[in-house]
Amino acid sequence: MNRGLFITFEGGEGSGKSTLIEALANTLISKGRSVVTTREPGGIPIAEKIREVILDRSHTSMDARTEALLYAAARRQHLVEKVIPAIEAGSIVLCDRFIDSSLAYQGYARGLGMDEVWAINLFAIQERMPDLTLFLDLEPSAGLARIAKAAEREVNRLDLEKLEFHERVRTGYEMLLERHPNRIERINADQTRDKVFSQVLSIIEARLAGIA
Ligand code: TMP
């Protein structure tokens, strides 16, 4: 049996993660791989409920530390209930966001400090880090313009933050890229969907060949 692989996708709003994950899953499944797609915050009922609390647009008074703790709580439950069992069963887990989102959004953009947010997340994940992280990099203004056009997409509390917040998120991701060059790969998301897809697929296939 193939060993499982834990792959996470990161990026700002409108960077195209969910469409990409769906296309990758279809292709990998058609090649005979077992694939589990999931997202954070959410992916299982308890974490989806926490997601509703975090992203509710009326929760404007939510404290930044409360927000960080809720993301970490949702992460913990999702990891033990869904991600770890799938990896142990030999699946490739494609997860829309993970710890780097908390480091970039809460740690850097909200100003809580990356090291502080790392500490609470270490408690949550017990060092279960992704094997590979794809960071879909796009100018925040272009990402926000994309989601403004996508009528069916939910508009959540964080989408309502100003452009400067989303620019800080991107800077936070850039800092993470420097810290973890072996785990995180930067992908230029300002290209056609097909180009982004084939670039990411070849990175994943190279990893799979490495562990086969
Ligand atoms: P989504 O729009 O990609 O589903 O993510 C929901 C929002 O939550 C998005 O604005 C990013 C944000 N987020 C954080 O701020 N910290 C986190 O740890 C995660 C997982 C998401």
31-87: pLDDT as tens digits: 999 999 999 999 999 999 999 999 999 999 999 999 999 999 999 999 999 999 999
135-162: pLDDT as tens digits: 999 999 999 999 888 877 788 888 888 9
- Residue whose CA is at the smallest distance from ligand 1 atom 15: 105
DSSP of 33-95: --EEEEESS-SSHHHHHHHHHHH-TT-TT--HHHHHHHHHHHHHHHIIIIIHHHHHTTPEEEE
Distance CA 17, CA 208 (A): 20
C-alpha dist (Å) from residue 143 to 7, 124, 136, 147, 148: 22, 30, 11, 6, 9
Distance CA 102, CA 123 (A): 14
Answer whether 102 contacts ligand 1 (Cβ < 6 A): yes
pLDDT value at position 45? 98
CA of 161 to the centre of ligand 1 (A): 12
Bridge partners of 137, per DSSP, are 188
Which atom of ligand 1 is least distant from the CA of 41?
20
Which atom of ligand 1 is least distant from the CA of 96?
3
Q: What is the largest CA-CA distance in the chain?
A: 49
Q: Which of 105, 125, 136, 157 to mutate to test the pocket of ligand 1 (most atoms within 8 A of CB)?
A: 105
- Between vectors from CA 93 to CA 12 and to CA 151, what angle results, nearest 5°? 40
Homologous superfamily, domain 5-211: P-loop containing nucleotide triphosphate hydrolases (3.40.50.300)
Answer whether 156 contacts ligand 1 (Cβ < 6 A): yes
- Residue whose CA is at the smallest distance from ligand 1 atom 18: 102
SS3 of residue 28 by DSSP: helix
CA of 70 to the centre of ligand 1 (A): 11
CA of 132 to the centre of ligand 1 (A): 19
Tokens describing residue 167 = 């620019």
pLDDT value at position 66? 98
Tokens describing residue 86 = 């799938």
Tell me if 166 sits within 8 A of 156, measured CB to CB: no
Tokens describing residue 77 = 């439950």
Answer whether 97 contacts ligand 1 (Cβ < 6 A): yes
Mean pLDDT of the chain: 95
pLDDT value at position 211? 66
Count of Cβ atoms closer than 10 Å to residue 149 Cβ = 8
pLDDT value at position 2? 59
**180 pLDDT higher than 60:** yes
